[in-house]
Amino acid sequence: MIVPGSASQALAAALADHAERPLATPEYRWFPDGEACASVPDFAGEEAVVVAATDSNDALVELLQLQDAVREAGAETVTTVLPYMGYARQDRAFEEGQPVSARAVARAVSTGTDRVLLVTPHEAGVADYFDVPVEVLEAAPLLAEPLPADLSEPLFLGPDASAEELAVAVRDAYGGGETDFFEKARDYDTGEVTVTPGDADVAGRDVVVVDDIIATGSTMSEAVAALHERDCDDVYTACVHGMLASNARTKLAAAGVTRVVASDTLERAESDVSVAPLVADAL
């Protein structure tokens, strides 16, 4: 059975449809002291597929409870699908005394599962932190699907060098265009990010800025504003994980974004494409 976490209900339903597997209906309760209890009273079968984006601390605890609940209900095999893995960006200790939070989360998730499917983590190396087999699924090519078919001399840009690979994947799936990337520098003490455009000519062209995640939108909106200063045409932003925290969507609109494209690893209004077929194939 497919078992959804509360943050991944639409994705789990789509996955159940694509994989032709039954969908469980978990129940989520909260006690007066703030503790939660996620249960799966209708679970039946020997195999469980728990689908849960861990976009908050509560969601992580809920995932651990769902894993334990299906084991208690008789599941012999548990596969955990992490559409979005919280804390994946804390993949190393940036300063003395800091934890490697991604490793701590991976170890916790590993205790209740036999296998993990991880969708486009911020750093692929976090897969090594799990104590069970992990398969990394690359969802970036799916982001080409919602883009207009008639982009004008499209340029696919990564907001930094590490994201150019994602831009190439979207460009290849789209079927044409050039790729480049911005130079990005981050001050880890203040969190301030500066973005410097590359040398690509953007005047009169449609641009697609591609990243794995849009969180606060600060870096992306700065990139969009810089592109408009260089007289580009329309600017689209595409990301696998549309966190869009706080006023991120407003920042992007104010910077002049034509459209924000994201997948349903995090279920938002901008989730224009589903990773369900990708996960179904892996299952």
User: Which sequence positions are flagged as catalytic?
Assistant: 184
Give the residue from 256, 266, 153 showing the smallest Cα distance to 207. Answer: 153
CB 276 within 8 A of CB 4: no
- 76: number of Cβ within 10 Å: 11
Question: What gap in Å lies between CA 200 and CA 67, rounded to an integer?
Answer: 48
| Nearest-angstrom CA–CA distance, 69 and 107 | 18
C-alpha 62/C-alpha 45 separation (Å) is 21
- Which tokens in the block code for residue 164? 């150019």
Counting beta carbons within 10 angstroms of the beta carbon of residue 204, is it exposed (0 to 12), middle (13 to 18) or buried (19 or more)? exposed
* CA–CA dist 8, 49 (Å, integer): 12
Task: Locate 244 and state its tokens.
Answer: 């869009």
Rounded distance between C-alpha atoms, residue 179 and residue 191, angstroms: 27
Tokens of 76: 């012999």
